[in-house]
Each structure stands twice: as structure tokens, then as C-alpha cells.
Amino acid sequence: MADIITPERGRISVCVKGGKSPVSKLGGISQLFTYGNYEIYEKNSMYWMRGGSIICPFYEISNEIERLALGTYLCEVANDLTGENEESREILRLLLNTLYLVGKGEKSRIQLKAVFEIRAMCISGYCPELSGCIYCKKNRCEFMYLDILRGRLICSDCLSKRENKTISISDEFEYTEQKNLLFGMTPAVFAAFCHVVYSQQGKIFAFEIKDKTELEDFGKIAETYLLEHLGHGFKSLDFYRSVK
Ligand SMILES: [Zn+2]
């Protein structure tokens, strides 16, 4: 069986007769990380692959274990976010763009993974509200804290006022804090996050976080945001962490 993500019909599980055989004509087209045109027919309530042609094979991804692990994770997330007969054009485009850049190997993998995670969440209806602090509305501060579960911001000034009990913050916010799911973002990390959420699809990767610690923080926030909203982990993510 192979899972194919299609633009109009979402994820389709397809039987590939002899797909693993080296002499099968379906061997190439049914490989992982293959973008192609597929010829599929239905028989006994199952989909079968008859043939197809490769548009882009993303060969470079399989050349190195860390790339392979990251590519597998991206595919697993895309698979998880795509249902049968659901329009999946946007998530497919995001996946293809990210896989292309992972294969090219020029951009930081932390950045590629984080952009994919944030944008995949936006496409799936979990877009955070980043226009400003939910209390004072300002959007510049030493640190902006992202409330991961509710997808909203609180600035460091309002957070310290809360600690001094000069403003009251609702119980639901306290609950989030107890779970340690308030992540502080420096101006560079916050700007990157906003860029990914609000840019057009073609521009989402066009930024750079130069400081290594800030880049790692950006990656950690993006990953936590995705995992908390989906409510489960991914085997391929564990594998990626183990080879990184
Ligand atoms: Zn504030």
C-alpha cells in the first residue's frame, strides 16, 4: 500500500502490485518522496495503481540520513493533516516546497521544519493570533509570550504586571502557564513567526534568524505548537531527533 496526497481528493491509499520488486514498472513511481501523475483505478472497493509518470523524484532527500528522517516526518505530518476526499492543494504545495528545499540542503533544517510546522497548522485551522498582546494590544516588547494552546500573545510587561498582581489575568491563562506552555519570543523570533503566518505562500521561507539560540527557540516553539494542537507525537519525529 502507498499513501498519495492529491490536490482535489486528499489522501488516497493505493495498492501497488509488485511495487517493491526491482523489475516492476511501478517501482519508481511508488517510491517515497515522489511527485508525479498517477493513474489509479478502483476495484473491489480498493484503489490500485496502474501506472504514472514522475514529475519530481526528490532523490537528494534519500542521500543522507538526517534529510531522509526530516522528509519522512514532513510526509507523516502532511498525511496526518489530510483526509480522504478533502481538498488538499495547500498542504500539498507546502509539502512539495519544503521537500524541495530539504533536498537542496542550502537552508537550515531547523528553519525549514519550523516553517512547515507553523504553516501546516495555519492551513489546518490552528492559526495563532499575532497582531498584539491580548491585554494591552501592543506588538513590540522585550519579549512576546506565545500562549501555545490558545494561539495568542501576552507581552512581557503585562506578564510581569500579572506577577505583581496589578492586573488580573483569567484562570484559563493561569492554567496555560502552569503547563509551561508560554514561550517567550525575542523580537527576531517573533518577527520570524509573524512572517511565516502572514506571508504569501511563495515567500514563507524568505527570512533568516542569524543567532543560533534564537533559531533553536523558533524551532522549539513551532514543534511544540504543532504537537500540542494535534495532541500526539510522530514516530518519524522521534527518529529525526535520534539522528540529528
Ligand atoms: Zn501587554
Ligand 1 centroid distance, CA of 153 (Å)? 8
Ligand 1 centroid distance, CA of 166 (Å)? 12
Ligand 1 centroid distance, CA of 152 (Å)? 11
Which grid cell sits at 172?
A: 484559563
What's the 3-state SS for 75-133? HHHHHHCCCECCCCHHHHHHHHHHHHHHHHCCCCHHHHHHHHHHHHHHHCCCCCCCCCE
Ligand 1 centroid distance, CA of 182 (Å)? 14
pLDDT at 90 over 70: yes
Q: What percent of the chain has pLDDT over 90?
A: 75
As a whole number of angstroms, the distance between CA 153 and CA 144 comes to: 6
Could you give all domains of the chain from N- to C-terminal order, each with its CATH number?
1-57 (2.40.50.140), 144-233 (no CATH)
pLDDT at 13 over 70: yes
As a whole number of angstroms, the distance between CA 221 and CA 114 comes to: 8
Q: pLDDT band at 160, cuts 50/70/90?
A: confident
Query: What is the torsion angle, in degrees rounded to the nearest 10, for the CA atoms of residue 29, residue 34, residue 37 and residue 42?
Result: 60
Ligand 1 centroid distance, CA of 203 (Å)? 29
Q: What is the pLDDT of residue 23?
A: 60
Ligand 1 centroid distance, CA of 145 (Å)? 10
Looking at the DSSP bridge assignments, the partners of residue 184 are: 145
As a whole number of angstroms, the distance between CA 117 and CA 205 comes to: 12
